[in-house]
Amino acid sequence: MKKLFLMLVMLSVASMMTAQESAHRYEIKSGILHEHTVLSGHDTPAVRYFDNYGDCEALVQTIDMGALGSFENTTVVNKDKSWIYNESSKPKVFDNPTWDLTFVNPSQAAIDKYKIVDTGEDEEVLGRMCRKFTYETTIGRRNKVVKNTAWVYKGITLKCIMINGRNETLWEVTDFQENAEVPSNLFTIPE
């Protein structure tokens, strides 16, 4: 259960922190998003910071492991690479599996790869009109398909429901500060 939870958390991080090579990810210069993920009764709060229209992004996540305690992870993403670290570990680099997934002018290759569908439906989330999309991602060595429904505002996902077999994960933003001053040191990978 712990591995599945961590894998889904990492997938949600990767899915929400995607980039497109030829353009900025978002239509907003900077922001601070307070968010949480709910999986099997576990609520994982996080704060996402972005600058330069999403070219710089960092996620500070508190992971509660119940009786095992909680710990804080920081993830920094730069296109196809991500670094994750906490106060007791050195940064580990891994491939960002969804680096090419974007909702701002996605390439045809990305549309085909993720089966992105613009549902044509608009819905208000946090007082902002969002466009609803569906798409698919995969996790694990066996590439298990995760079906996602996302509510997107100017390229920024404000809510997402991920279905992995019988497991449903809700990820949503609870507060969004647009064009906020974001400390640049958040995007620096410690040595």
- What's residue 126's pLDDT? 96
First CA to last CA distance, the chain:
31
Residue 14 has pLDDT above 80, yes or no: no
Q: Report CA Rg, the chain.
A: 16
pLDDT at residue 5 in the model: 42
Select the more confidently predicted residue: 140 or 93: 93
Strand order in the sheet with 42-51: 89-95, 81-86, 70-78, 56-64, 42-51, 31-39, 167-178, 156-164, 144-153, 128-139, 117-125
For residue 187, count other CB atoms closer than 10 A to its CB: 18
User: Which position has the higher pLDDT, 187 or 16?
Assistant: 187
pLDDT of residue 10: 46
pLDDT at 2 over 60: no
How confident is the prediction for the chain on average, in pLDDT?
Answer: 85
According to the model, what pLDDT value does residue 78 have? 81
Question: Does residue 35 have a pLDDT over 90?
Answer: yes
pLDDT at 6: 41
Q: CA-CA distance, 156 to 54, in Å (whole number)?
A: 9
**Helix, strand, or coil (residue 27):** coil
Give 40-72 pLDDT, tens digit per residue: 677 788 999 999 998 889 999 887 777 777 788
Tell me the mean pLDDT in the region 151-164: 96
* Mean predicted confidence (pLDDT) in 113-142: 94
Ordered structural domains, the chain, with CATH: 2-187 (2.50.20.10)
